[in-house]
Amino acid sequence: MSTVLYIKANPKSNEDSFTFKMSEAFIKTYQEKNPGDQIVTLDLYKEGIKFLDAEMLGQMYSGQETVMKKYAQQFAAADKYVIAAPMWNLGSPAILKAYFDYVVLAGVTFKYTEQGPVGLLAPGKKAVHIVARGGKYSEGPAAQFEMGDRYVKTILGFMGVENISTISTELTGVLQGEVLEQSVNASIAAAKEKAKEF
């Protein structure tokens, strides 16, 4: 039995978010295919993830049971990660970075060595980043400005997750009407296909 951590980083409802339309379809298909697996949903807005402040930094390596350690241990214990986060200002919503500031914790998800930092997550974990973007960044001239998918992949790799894929829908701010609907439906179908072999 695998544990899937479903991380949601958008204040919108499932119905109002293209990102969540894809991620909910992904999770539903995955659950149908893997009924014995456990899905743990982490809605970062409902969790009330905050920016690290001076008090939290003071507690970070104090040996206390902190909120950072709780989330880092939960992250380390999961086998698979579904990260649903729209593109905001070329990256991801800040709450996702704030969450990773809890989770990337020395001694739990990575360690320092003489050769530099090394991820502590067990091998074999996999992740998918699901993202809706108003414009087109997967290829073409704007691809160099894309920093959300790049950050998610880099920070997961830092902790030891190497098998990471992306499901995106693009041009949600450009396409309209039926064309937009068809484009999003194609991305939802792609999400369902990916979920079958995740």
List residues binding ligand FMN (CB under 6 A).
10, 12, 17-20, 86-90, 132-135, 172-173
* Cβ 58 to ligand FMN shortest distance, Å: 32
* CA–CA dist 103, 67 (Å, integer): 10
- The owner of tokens 């697996």 is 37
CA atoms within 13 A on the CB side of 25: 19
Closer CB to ligand FMN, residue 49 or residue 131?
131
Closer CB to ligand FMN, residue 69 or residue 192?
192
* Cβ 23 to ligand FMN shortest distance, Å: 9
* Cβ 20 to ligand FMN shortest distance, Å: 6
Q: How many CB atoms lie within 10 A of CB 118?
A: 12
Closer CB to ligand FMN, residue 13 or residue 113?
13
* CA–CA dist 106, 190 (Å, integer): 36
Closer CB to ligand FMN, residue 69 or residue 129?
129
Going by C-alpha positions, the residue among 103, 96, 98 that lies closest to residue 129 is: 96
> Which residues is 91 bridged to in the sheet?
88
Going by C-alpha positions, the residue among 73, 184, 180, 70 that lies closest to residue 130 is: 184
* Cβ 68 to ligand FMN shortest distance, Å: 26
Closer CB to ligand FMN, residue 20 or residue 81?
20
Closer CB to ligand FMN, residue 58 or residue 173?
173
* Cβ 173 to ligand FMN shortest distance, Å: 5
Kindly state the DSSP code that residue 145 receives in the 8-state scheme. G
* Cβ 108 to ligand FMN shortest distance, Å: 30
H/E element, 23 = helix 18-33
Contact 153, 164 (CB under 8 A): yes
Contact 141, 90 (CB under 8 A): no
